[in-house]
Each structure stands twice: as C-alpha cells, then as structure tokens.
C-alpha cells in the first residue's frame, strides 16, 4: 500500500478550513493508503501559545481527528514531539536549506507582514524545514496538502533531492496528493485571506465546535458585496467562498448552487450555507463530546502512545541512516 502522511497544528480548535481542506479528504482515503497523521505541536509554538491551552488543544486535536472520522485502528495517529527524530532531522536539514528560499515562502511573508523584524521568530522562518523533516523521515509516497501548503511541499522535495544528491539516495521524494474535493476556504471576514484558527477575529472562521447559532450568525455576518447575485466569480470573492463551502458540505456542483439561489437574496443564501455547515458538523460534535469525557482519557492516551511507538520504529532507523551518511559516530 502507498503511504500518506500529514499533520495539523494544535494552535486552536480546528476550523472548517482544516476540515474541508484536510480532514474530510483524509477520511476519504483511509482505506486506500497506509496513513499517518500527527499533531504538529512543535510547529504550533512558532506563534506564542498559552501552555495550559496548548496542552488541552493537543489532546483536543486527536479527539477532533477521530470525531471527523479518522479511524485510529486504520491510521497511525501521534504527537510530533513524542518522536524526537523530527526536531533532529529538522536541524540537519537546516544545513541544506538557504535563507533566500525560505524568505520567498508566502506563508512566512503573510504571517510576518505586520511585524517588525525584531519580533519575528526564527522558528516561524524555519517552519518549512521542520515540515520537510516531518515528511522525509517517513518516506511517504504522497502528502495531502491544501493549496495553501503547496509551496511548503515543494521545498520539502527540493531539500530531499539536495540531501540525496550530496549524501546518496536516502529520502523518497513525495508527491502532492491532490484531492478531488479539496478547496481553499477563505476567511468569512476577509475573503482575500485563508480561514485560520489563529485569526484574532473569531467571526473570520468557523470552529468545528461552534454551536449551530454561532455558525449561522457568523455566516450572516460574512463579508460579501453589493451585487446581490449568487454567482461564482473572482469579482465576488466573498460569495465565491460561500459557494465553495456550500459545494463541499453538500456535494453539490457550482452550477447547481447558482441555479438553486437564482433570484434569492444574500440573506437566504447565507442562512442556507450556515444550516448546511451546522448539519454537517452536528455528527462530528456529537462524537467529539462523547470522546471528551474523563472515562475516555485513557483511550485517547493509548492512541497517541501506540502511534508514537509505531512512528518511532520508522523514524529511528531513518535518522540513523542520515547520521551515518553525514559521517556521525553512532
């Protein structure tokens, strides 16, 4: 079976963007590939986190994975920092990466646009190198990435090839897994920005655990335009985003949606999108609330403990191979 690997940062409660851009697709492919999914705690500290909240969020991400339909029997689920080889390989790959190529990463540019150089963390700059280590450590065939992460996968491939060309064929060069249904979900308050769980404005994102009322309110407040026509065009980025969301949660085609809301006002359309999203999230929230009970704590712990053991069995010899190739004494 071909191997797939991906992860999500525990920098908050996951969003509809994480679900439609990543988790929904992970669920669809879990029977066809050998899948490994981790919680990217090391990545999350590239932005300052409150330790108590982070601690809770790490476990919540595992529960959200399972609540979204990731089967812990079929997939390997673990916490990134439990497999120390990620950080070690990250350091090694720092010595293959160039400042210039990291400076060109759009996520870095976006996240630091409003910051002075003195407050930009080196970890944030270095994020793509750690991501390359996360991936190359396991020789996956494919990495399912949303449109927003494509550039980071490209640098992973570059670093893998560069290392291989100096030290021998050590890493498999993975391909992007392009899902049929994946979409880039944008902020409800600023459709030029992607929906992010760390957005300071909670109206910009739908959290997987928002109540039905909150979801509908957030969609009603979504920034649109004054055209008042439900049409899928670049000139109406807010409406385009809502159509994308509606299409993903209902599995309807764009043309079908345009026809369904022909002549209807934005109010009607926004409510319909909110209702459809809330319906879709209802089952996930039910499962999540079940898992989030004290009696299930051990079960969750056993999933990530077993996951780290399994991941470590691959990561340890791979890192040893890297150390040997570099000339280190084992």
> Cβ 194 to ligand AQP, closest distance in Å?
4
Is 196 or 236 the residue whose CB approaches ligand AQP more closely? 196
Asked about 197 being catalytic, the answer comes back as yes
**Structure tokens, 186:** 């944008």
User: Does 245 participate in binding ligand AQP (rule CB under 6 A)?
Assistant: no
Out of 197, 218, 240, 318, the active site residue is 197
Tell me if 80 sits within 8 A of 41, measured CB to CB.
Answer: yes
> Cβ 18 to ligand AQP, closest distance in Å?
4
Dihedral angle computed from the Cα positions of residues 280, 281, 284 and 287, in that order, rounded to the nearest 10 degrees: -110
User: Does 46 participate in binding ligand AQP (rule CB under 6 A)?
Assistant: no
User: Does 204 participate in binding ligand AQP (rule CB under 6 A)?
Assistant: no
Per-residue 3-state assignment (H helix, E strand, C coil) for 231-246: CCCCCCHHHHHHHHHH
x/- mask, ligand AQP, residues 5-44, rule CB under 6 A, reads: -x-xx-x---x-xx--xx-----------------x----
User: Does 197 participate in binding ligand AQP (rule CB under 6 A)?
Assistant: yes
Closest by CA to 156, choosing from 178, 172, 168, 169, is 172
User: Does 224 participate in binding ligand AQP (rule CB under 6 A)?
Assistant: no
d(CA 64, CA 285) in angstroms, rounded, equals 9
Residue 176, judged by CB atoms within 10 A of its CB (0-12, 13-18, 19+), counts as middle
Residues 6+ apart with CB under 8 A from 177: 4, 25, 29, 142, 143, 144, 145
CB-based closest residue to ligand AQP: 21
User: Does 196 participate in binding ligand AQP (rule CB under 6 A)?
Assistant: yes
Asked about 194 being catalytic, the answer comes back as yes
d(CA 327, CA 330) in angstroms, rounded, equals 9
Tell me if 248 sits within 8 A of 259, measured CB to CB.
Answer: no
Asked about 172 being catalytic, the answer comes back as no
> Cβ 12 to ligand AQP, closest distance in Å?
6
x/- mask, ligand AQP, residues 144-163, rule CB under 6 A, reads: -xx-xx--------------
> Cβ 106 to ligand AQP, closest distance in Å?
12
Is 15 or 189 the residue whose CB approaches ligand AQP more closely? 15
DSSP one-letter string for 88-103:
HHHHHHHTT--HHHHH
Question: Which residues have a catalytic role annotated?
Answer: 111, 194, 197
Query: Can you give the binding site for ligand AQP, defined by CB under 6 A?
Result: 6, 8-9, 11, 15, 17-18, 21-22, 40, 145-146, 148-149, 184-185, 194-198
């Amino acid at each position: 079976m071909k191997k797939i690997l991906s992860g999500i940062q525990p920098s908050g409660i996951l969003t509809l963007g994480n679900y439609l851009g990543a988790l929904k697709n992970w669920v669809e492919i879990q029977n066809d590939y050998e899948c490994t999914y981790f919680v990217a705690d090391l990545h999350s500290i590239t932005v300052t986190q409150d330790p108590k909240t982070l601690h809770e969020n790490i476990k919540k991400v595992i529960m959200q994975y399972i609540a979204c339909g990731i089967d812990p029997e079929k997939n390997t689920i673990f916490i990134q920092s439990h497999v120390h080889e990620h950080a070690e390989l990250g350091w090694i790959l720092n010595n293959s990466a160039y400042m210039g190529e990291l400076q060109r990463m759009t996520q870095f540019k976006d996240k630091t646009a409003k910051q002075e150089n003195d407050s930009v963390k080196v970890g944030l700059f270095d994020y793509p190198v750690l991501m390359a280590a996360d991936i190359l450590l396991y020789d996956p065939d494919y990495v399912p990435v949303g449109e927003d992460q494509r550039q980071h996968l490209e640098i992973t491939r570059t670093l893998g090839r560069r290392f291989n060309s100096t030290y021998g064929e050590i890493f498999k060069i993975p391909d992007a897994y392009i899902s049929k249904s994946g979409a880039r979900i944008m902020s409800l308050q600023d459709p030029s920005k992607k929906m992010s769980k760390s957005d300071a404005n909670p109206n910009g994102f739908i959290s997987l655990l928002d109540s039905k009322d909150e979801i509908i309110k957030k969609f009603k407040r979504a920034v649109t335009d004054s055209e008042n026509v439900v049409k899928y065009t670049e000139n109406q980025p807010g409406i385009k985003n809502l159509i994308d969301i509606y299409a993903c949660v209902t599995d309807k085609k764009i043309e079908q949606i345009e026809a369904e809301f022909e002549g209807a006002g934005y109010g009607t359309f926004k409510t319909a999108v909110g209702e459809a999203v809330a319906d879709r999230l209802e089952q996930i929230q039910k499962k999540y609330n079940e898992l989030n009970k004290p009696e299930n704590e051990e079960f969750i712990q056993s999933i990530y403990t077993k996951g780290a053991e399994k991941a470590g069995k691959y990561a340890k010899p791979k890192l040893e191979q890297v150390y040997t190739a570099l000339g280190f004494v084992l």
